A and B are shown apart, each in its own frame.
Chain A
Amino acid sequence: MSGPLVEVSSISRSYSMRSGMFGRSTAVHAVDRVSLTMRKGETLGLVGESGSGKSTTGRIVLGLEPPDHGEVRFDGKPMATPGTPAWRAQRAHMQMIFQDPLGALDRRLPVAAQIREPLDIHGLGTPLEREERVRELLRAVELTPAHGVRYPGALSGGQRQRIVLARALATKPDFLVCDEPVSALDVSIQAQVVNLLADLQAQLALTLLFISHDLRVVRQISNVVAVMYLGRIVEIGSADDLFARPEHPYTQALVSASPAPGRRSAGRIVLAGDPPNPAARPQGCAFHPRCPRAVARCASEVPALSHVGGNRQVACHLVTGPQAETRDAA
């Protein structure tokens, strides 16, 4: 728990989207000037609705695609260009857990062969050592070597996600990006997998970027939580503090909509208006059309992310802290 392992500085990514075959292409800003810092052994929860750019952020942070602007540094060094040999070698240090474990596994290979694959790719160990490592990994994700000979289709959803996890851990990576790792699983299985992930994270001192729309799950595993809305981070802070005392109206709405023990659901804030559409981003604060507390200024000026005390940062004109400051729309 010392220096930063991953430093994300002001990354942006936009896609051009065509409406129909001959329509004019419009740029969709999926990620807009997002900065994050992750220390070794820390878990950062990234929360947002679909279309908030959290998955794109995850892919850029992991180096799967390059940002248009900004930079990601891993262990002090910039990311290699995707597809190059240097980039491929770098993959041994960082891995991804996918939302759909069945889609992420090759249905035509026994799962043990797939867990072993990163070792084959990166040439780690002798064949015998690789076999041993596969058994070790299966035990680590609480499966048995007997599961290894099966095909993905013959395993349950939770077991598949454990296989994906075992494969991701094969090369002993430092950094894991989990993109909605449990949202495709049954609720009863979700907790098991999240607990396993938390245990392994503590055991192996992994740095985790945990992306989810589900606040309960994020609360369970994260040290730090960042909330995204339409490509920007609107609030970031340590998990317990943020959930106990959300500052941004959007975070407040999210937290109020998520059931938690010991809190009555009476004060639930229901958001009005359309769900966010990245192709038609409102002027000013992107959240203002749905914000119950929006004022005139929100429609014209983009609020900057600013410190409001502790390690909390919020991007809202209505939340002012010790060093709160605003910035004109760029």
Chain B
Amino acid sequence: MGRYFAIRIGRAALTIVLVVTFAFVVLRLSGDPALMILGPEAPPEVLAAFRKAWGLDDPIWFQYLDYFGAIAKGELGRSMRDGRPAIELVLERIPATLALTLPAFAFKVALGIPAGIYAALHRGSGIDRAVMVTAVAGFTVPSFVLALILVLVFAVQLGWLPSGGQDSWRHAILPIATLSLGGAAVLARFTRSAMLEVLGQPYIRTASAKGVPWRKVVTSHALPNAAIPTVTILGFMVGTLIAGAVVVESVFSWPGVGRLLVVAVANRDLAVVQCILLLVALTMVTSNLIVDFLYGFLDPRLRAKGAHA
């Protein structure tokens, strides 16, 4: 068990290192930072002084380690637009994003998982078919199209809800609906296939052949086993809580991290982009780690093996 977690934690750390490396490589490949920051009109001696001051003349390996050091200390640079620390800009946007993604996550789970289980248990029924069609639609209709359709219907045609902004809870309804519908469809489809796979296993047939009541077969054999793969996708969804609303926030002009990212990319505000990238990596890695730990408890095979190690 200890070894299992050690490997997971090592992997998580490695992922972070890879993300930082990715950011560093992309940053260095994208051009001369001195030119980018000071502009092409800057006199050569100013450029040289800047390069010296920022260590840009050092060997690349040195710069790479320096870069790591700075990030480890939380020095993520300042926004090129208003000169505030990038991390501050990003952190103050997080509550707005979570205000959308947390309720959306709850709805996804509340809608998607029961729908998937029900569909699997009543395979071929009308509801199963409806779930599948919705799930396919959820995959093929991109979120920006869904968002615009919702706006068209509920804001433009019916006039029930506002189409954008962040003034009241009513403004959050359409963005949350957009996020939940797509996610619920994906989750339903996934839960259904996980459940069907488990229901096809010999131990399920054995249990029902032994005369175990079907309800008990489902609750004590099928559901716990189908939970294992479902936890993975849930973990992935938790990992996208911070940055999962890029498109939706843009459509609804919701001032969250996603919208900040889009604006920062459009303005090439590198410090902010880099900061969001690291933040996303951190949440992804953390949620994956949580999933791995949950696995350790959910999967008795891992538990049993852990006992020997």
Contacts and interface: CB of A to CB of B under 8 A. Distances in A.
The answer to A–B direct touch (Cβ < 8 A) is yes
B73 interface: no
Interface residues of A, number: 4
Contacts of A20: 305, 308
Contacts of B308: 20, 22-23
A23 B308 CA distance: 7
B72 interface: no
A17 B3 CA distance: 19
B26 interface: no
A22 B304 CA distance: 11
Interface string B1-42: 001100000000000000000000000000000000000000
B85 to A, nearest CB: 45
- Majority-rule SS of A interface residues: loop
Interface residues of B, number: 6
A330 interface: no
Contacts of A23: 308
Contacts of A1: none
B158 interface: no
Contacts of B53: none
Interface string A22-54: 110000000000000000000000000000000
Nearest to B304: A20
A22 B309 CA distance: 6
Contacts of B306: 22
A22 B296 CA distance: 14
Nearest to B306: A22
**A20, A21, A23 pick with most chain B CB within 10 angstroms:** A21
Interface in A314-330: none
Interface string A7-23: 00000000000001111
A21 B304 CA distance: 11
Interface string B296-309: 00000000011011
A22 B302 CA distance: 10
Interface of B: 3-4, 305-306, 308-309
10 contacts: A20-B305, A20-B308, A21-B305, A22-B3, A22-B4, A22-B305, A22-B306, A22-B308, A22-B309, A23-B308
Given A20-B308, A22-B3, 8 more contacts: A20-B305, A21-B305, A22-B4, A22-B305, A22-B306, A22-B308, A22-B309, A23-B308
Q: Which 5 A-B pairs have the closest CB atoms?
A: A22-B309, A22-B305, A21-B305, A20-B305, A22-B308
